[in-house]
Amino acid sequence: MKERRPLGRYAVRVLLALLFGAHICASARAQSAKPTNVELIIDDSGSMAQKVEGGKKIDVAKQVLSGLIEDLPKDAQVAVRTYGRQHRSKDRDCSDMELLVPFGSNDSTRLLPGVDRLKPNGMTPIAASLQAAAKDFAGKEGQNNIIILLTDGEEDCSGDPCAVSKALHDAGIRLQINVIGFHVGADARNQLKCISDASGGKYYDAANAKQLKVAATEVTESIESKPAKKQGEPLYGEPIRGGDAYEKAVVLPTGKLFHLDHVQPKQAYDFFAVAVGSGQTIKVSIAAGPSNGSIGAIIASPKREKLNDVDIDGPRRNAELLHDVADQQDGTYYIMIGDPYYPQKLDDTFRVDLIDNYDANSGRDAGETEARAVEIRAGTYPHNYMSDADTMDVFKFKLDAGKTYSLRARPADPKATLQIQVVDSDGTELAQQSAPNPGAAAKVDGIRLAKSGAIYAKLSYYHYGTKGHYAFAFGEGDIESPPPPPQ
């Protein structure tokens, strides 16, 4: 064994210098991680009582805000401010502003009670609210300071919110203001976009509940304190390479995030294959990375016919592509990843999910003819689906002679209408009934056969989108209507 020799003076000095340097670097890194402070300013003016697709604006906003708060960085300090809550519009009170929840930990139990108290009432003093919010950031100068403004209209108190936004950004506090315009007109949109642009923030437009959820997701993803995604990290998924033609398509696992392992030139695509069953929906999700990428996707049928496509251009944008597969349309579908206009970058991501929209727990889509009917027993079936690719579902029931049966069906979408037609095994119509109004249950009572046998219930779905979930129940006597399934 070699004898250990003591360190010389020079070696000791070098070691101490290295340790001290490492300490300095660690301290510098710690100091460079600036705290993040996010203040939500929520419009509670009278116009937020108006209805949009999905409900009243304020109710939709409350639901979305709970998810937005959940998605903010866990270590962020968060505050909630509002305007228009205390006095009615006719009072013309432009000082009606309130800090509902001061800065503190990102804890939904601390923040959401203030949001839940919102009730549309008064004016829209955006400029004054921004000035008041700036004072809430006192003592946080030089930190990562962000305002998220959610409003359904423009300034109506003679202020100039665009000028205020620029002044706050240029001041020592350097506020960044992100704005979500909820069901706004062209004039309001221009003013709100000016507010975000002047502060180095971003404007998000939302016309309904679904788009508001998307906007909320995008704005939280833009918060700078979230770690930037780096190529090769799990958030960017696994590298993969597809074929260069249908014949060379590579089988793509579903439910996993991927990025191409090569830079794809424009007007070129990687070909992937996915096995899809009847009653499933193909969902392709694409996202452009931070390097100003561009990505597109195409879904093609087993016959190699293009069904639909989508493409996006610009950093940190995302999009979805959906296709419903009905009875006897199952097979190998093709997903092409590329872009018709720009080269695709390595940090652009995609994934394919298969959503089960089976009818009556059968593991497939109910067909549109008696020969393709799903045979089931009496009971309640809460999860069924029709779309523009699947316009009728046929179910087969066996009836005992002399007994009376009823059928109830209800759509999830309050704007949709269901129709029921009942025929016997000879094709003779026994009953036909539509729901009395959209969203109501369609009912057929008194279904009866002199001899034991089978009947077929043919359900049709009518809506401007011709797509949606529905529930139905079948049984003896006067049965209860099923509750509407989730949309």
Helices 126-136 and 161-170, interaxial angle, to 10°? 20
Strands 429-434 and 417-424, bridge-based pairing: antiparallel
Same domain for 69 and 194, yes or no, is: yes
b/e per residue 257-294 (b: at least 16 CB within 10 A): ebbbeeebeeeebbbbbbebebbbbbbbbbbbbeeebb
Residue 361 lies in a domain: no
Same domain for 375 and 350, yes or no, is: no
The predicted-structure confidence for 381-418, as pLDDT tens digits, reads as follows 999 999 888 889 999 999 999 999 999 999 999 999 99
Distance from C-alpha of 346 to C-alpha of 287, rounded to nearest angstrom? 11
Question: What total number of domains does the chain contain?
Answer: 3
Distance from C-alpha of 202 to C-alpha of 93, rounded to nearest angstrom? 29
* β-bridge mates for residue 380, sequence order: 473
Instruction: Write out the DSSP string of 55-69.
Output: EEHHHHHHHHHHHHH
Residue 394 lies in a domain: yes
The predicted-structure confidence for 55-72, as pLDDT tens digits, reads as follows 889 998 888 888 888 888
End of a domain among 198, 221, 244?
221
**Cβ atoms 83, 119 nearer than 8 A:** no
Same domain for 270 and 217, yes or no, is: no
Instruction: Write out the DSSP string of 410-460.
Output: EESSTT-EEEEEEEETT--EEEEEE-SSTTSPEEEEEEE-SSSEEEEEEEE
Q: Say what the pLDDT of residue 225 is.
A: 40
Q: Say what the pLDDT of residue 484 is.
A: 81
Taking Cα atoms as reference points, which of 280, 258, 281, 248 lies closest to residue 337?
258
Same domain for 212 and 144, yes or no, is: yes
Q: Say what the pLDDT of residue 291 is.
A: 64
Instruction: Write out the DSSP string of 206-244.
Output: ESSHHHHHHHHHHHHHT-TTSPPP-TTSGGG-EEE--BS
Same domain for 111 and 250, yes or no, is: no
Residue 1 lies in a domain: no
Residue 2 lies in a domain: no
**pTM of the predicted protein model:** 0.53
Same domain for 240 and 160, yes or no, is: no
Q: Say what the pLDDT of residue 33 is.
A: 54
And the tokens for 147?
A: 């305002």
Containing structural domain, residue 247: 236-356
Question: Which residues are CB-neighbours of 122 under 8 A, at least 6 positions away?
Answer: 44, 45, 46, 83, 84, 85, 86, 87, 88, 89, 91, 93, 96
**Cβ atoms 354, 274 nearer than 8 A:** yes
Taking Cα atoms as reference points, which of 365, 409, 415 lies closest to residue 391?
365
Instruction: List per-residue pLDDT tens for the chain, 487 residues long.
Output: 334 444 444 443 433 444 434 443 443 333 335 788 999 999 999 899 998 887 889 998 888 888 888 888 888 899 999 998 888 878 888 999 999 999 999 988 898 888 888 888 889 999 999 999 999 998 888 788 899 999 998 998 988 998 898 888 777 666 889 999 999 888 889 899 999 888 878 888 888 878 887 777 777 776 744 443 444 434 467 889 999 999 999 999 998 999 888 877 778 899 999 999 999 999 999 988 766 567 899 999 999 999 999 988 777 788 899 999 999 999 999 999 988 777 767 778 899 999 999 999 999 999 999 999 999 999 999 999 998 888 899 999 999 999 999 999 999 999 999 999 999 999 999 999 999 999 999 999 999 999 999 999 999 988 776 789 999 999 999 999 898 887 6
Q: Say what the pLDDT of residue 378 is.
A: 94
CATH of the domain at 289: 2.60.120.380
* β-bridge mates for residue 337, sequence order: 270, 297
Q: Is 49 helix (H, G, I), strand (E, B) or coil?
A: helix
- Direct distance between the N- and C-terminal alpha carbons of the chain, in angstroms, rounded to an integer: 75
And the tokens for 250?
A: 């590579």
CATH of the domain at 161: 3.40.50.410
Distance from C-alpha of 362 to C-alpha of 13, rounded to nearest angstrom? 76
Same domain for 453 and 382, yes or no, is: yes
**Cβ atoms 73, 106 nearer than 8 A:** yes
Same domain for 199 and 325, yes or no, is: no
